[in-house]
Amino acid sequence: MRVLLVSANREQIPDPVFPLGMAYVAAAVEASGHQIEVADLCFGRRPLQNLGAQIVRFKPDVIGISLRNVDNAAYPRTVGYLALHRQVVDVAHGSSDAPVVLGGSGFSIMPLAHMRELNGDWGIVGEGERAFVALLQALEQGDDPATIAGVIPGSSYTASSTRRGLPPEPMLDWNEGLRPLRAAFDYPRYLRRGGMGNIQTKRGCIFKCSYCTYPLLEGNRFRTRDPVDVVDEIESLQRDFGPHPLFFVDSILNFPHGHVEAICEEILSRGLALRWSCYATPVKLDRNQAKLMARAGCEGIELGTDAVDDDQLARLGKSFDVATAERANRYCLEAGLRVCHSIIFGAPGETEASVRTTCEALVRMRPTAVIAMTGIRLYPGTPLSQSLIRTGSLDPDEIGLLPTFYIDPAVAEFLPGYLLKQAYTAGNWVLPGLVPPILPRTQRLLRGLGISGPLWRLFQKSFMQRLYRAHFKGQKTSWGTSNASRKVI
């Protein structure tokens, strides 16, 4: 079959992100003998016109569309991507009769709402490598794709026939050795535009943080990849595209204990000079781990700390306490790693006192940077949403494509002013929903100077204070729709 895969993401803040998930799906589709083309809409001025022309020329039998982001999950300056996604699907339908299959992380968080809003013919929830290939096979053979695990039908679905045999296991088996088909994309363009190369060493997360979608998207157990295979891929990336910074896209790279250690040892044994960064948990982050990561080229980690107050950590379902977070922070700084803490203010139970406790601890810990969210974007199926629904505080219909945020009423008024003051005084904070982290023109300037990798590692107090004093109202900060309508509970 002729299969066109479309990556709809045009967001370039904080940097353009290479569509790794779609590159995995492309590899699986090509390996199963289909003819593929990709349309990556990230760059260029006329993505929709180009897409239409490509569809007319290529005449695909099936069009798969990857929807990565729903919105920027930031309050109150929310940016949504639904309008762009609608245009992309409309172009696909308008240029061809081929069935449109929706997938990707953004889609998978709210598949039914996306199917309703975007009029897809089929949707694939979760990992696409196996389910999409099985769907193509079913379409080719006239079987009913709706019986495949992970596949959901669109509104025009009428059962045609019944598939024989068991549905395939929807999860990828790393032992198959599948590698993302980067060659089908303009990977170097992402690097030129300041993006990082990306690589995945495992899927899943065993933790149960109250608001988090990652276990829902990737599964609630870790499926780790052979460290030798990971470093083989890293080595070929650096050879094929020249030295460039990498981001490990794992939910958390440093857990389970031993996995990142094995990857670092392999990097060191091959003498690779790398620059990389990752998400990490304070859990079991010890001195040795921090030192080893630094020696293997880690230049910064983003710790999912969320709060530095024991009661608040417990309420957020975190699996560590303040002492562990402070120790992890210290070990990383001692090892020469830059540390950015992700913090969420306004979760249930937050009080002015707990906000102050977290802020004071962050001053004491002297991290490189802090990314602080005001309120929590609610997603279906997370422990937090389920508990708010159980207690009658939230109607399930309120969680949708137009974001609903939870901010504890006890701090709703207090937070914005207080956080802005904290950020201004500290000079190393990003407040994504209150102050745009970076304006596109500044980003272009920095990237034009050859600066890549996470920008938070470069924060200077004087620059950040100028940023906070500037007037942002009305400025376009992203490719999405600014101030997408939203609700707060």
Residue 417: strand, helix, or coil: helix
Q: What is the rounded distance in angstroms from the CA atom of residue 470 to the CA atom of residue 182?
A: 39
Q: Which is nearer to ligand SF4, 61 or 218 (CB)?
A: 218
Which tokens sit at 268?
């060191």
Closer Cβ to ligand SF4, 130 or 203, answer by number? 203
Residue 122 CB, shortest distance to ligand SF4, in Å, is 28
In whole angstroms, how close is the CB of 153 to ligand B12 at the nearest point? 14
| Residue 147: both structure tokens together | 């019986």
Crossing angle of helices 82-95/111-118, nearest 10°? 50
252 interacts with ligand SF4 by CB under 6 A: yes
The nearest distance, CB 68 to ligand B12, in angstroms, is 5
State the residues that interact with ligand B12 by CB under 6 A. Answer: 9, 11-12, 14, 16-17, 20-22, 24-25, 64-66, 68-74, 101, 103-106, 108-109, 124, 127-129, 132, 195-196, 198, 200, 213-214, 217-218, 247, 249, 251, 432
Q: Of ligand B12, ligand SF4, none, which one sits near residue 96, judging by CB under 5 to 8 A according to partner kind?
A: none
* 296: its two tokens: 């293997």
CB of 261 to ligand B12, least distance (A): 21
Nearer to ligand SF4, 14 or 219 (CB): 219
Which of 405, 436, 435, 403 lies closest to 417 in space, CA to CA?
Answer: 435
Which structure tokens are listed for 282?
């304070």
Q: Whole-number minimum distance, CB 260 to ligand SF4, in Å?
A: 14
Which partner from the list ligand B12, ligand SF4, none does 281 bind, CB cut-off 5 to 8 Å by kind? ligand SF4
Which of residues 318 and 357 has its CB atom nearest to ligand B12 in the complex?
318
Write the CB contacts of 423 (distance below 8 Å, at least 6 apart in sequence). 370, 372, 429, 430, 431, 434, 435, 464, 468
Binding mask 151-190 for ligand SF4 (x = CB under 6 A): ----------------------------------------
Neighbours of 346 (CB within 10 A): 23
Which residues between 192 and 211 bind ligand SF4 (CB under 6 A)?
205, 207, 209
79-80 vs 481-482, strand pairing mode: antiparallel
Token look-up 């207090």 returns 414
**How far is Cα 329 from Cα 343, in angstroms, rounded to an integer?**
14
User: Torsions phi, psi of 56, nearest 5?
Assistant: -65, -40
- Exactly one of 304, 403, 416, 432 binds ligand SF4 (CB under 6 A); that residue is 304
**CA 216 centroid distance within chain:** 13
Smallest gap from residue 323 Cβ to ligand B12 (A): 27
C-beta separation of 433 from 75 below 8 A: yes
Binding partner of residue 82 among ligand SF4, ligand B12, none, CB under 5 to 8 Å per kind?
none
**In 107-213, beta strands by DSSP E:** 122-124, 151-153, 197-199, 202-203
Q: Is the peptide bond preceding residue 14 cis, with omega within 30 degrees of 0? A: yes
Q: Can you tell me which of 16, 180, 215, 282 binds ligand SF4, judged by CB under 6 A?
A: 215
CA separation for the pair 335, 355 (Å, rounded): 29
143 interacts with, out of ligand B12, ligand SF4, none, CB within 5 to 8 A per kind: none
By CB under 6 A, name the one of 12, 251, 358, 443 that touches ligand SF4: 251
Q: How far is the CB of 425 from ligand SF4 (least distance, A)?
A: 27
- Reading phi first (left if > 0) and then psi (alpha if -120 to 50, else beta), residue 336 is in left
Residue 64 binding result from ligand B12, ligand SF4, none, given CB thresholds of 5 to 8 Å by partner type: ligand B12
Answer for which of 137, 254, 281, 443 binds ligand SF4 (CB under 6 A) is 281
The residues of the shown chain that bind ligand SF4, judged by CB under 6 A, are 205, 207, 209, 212, 214-215, 251-252, 281, 304
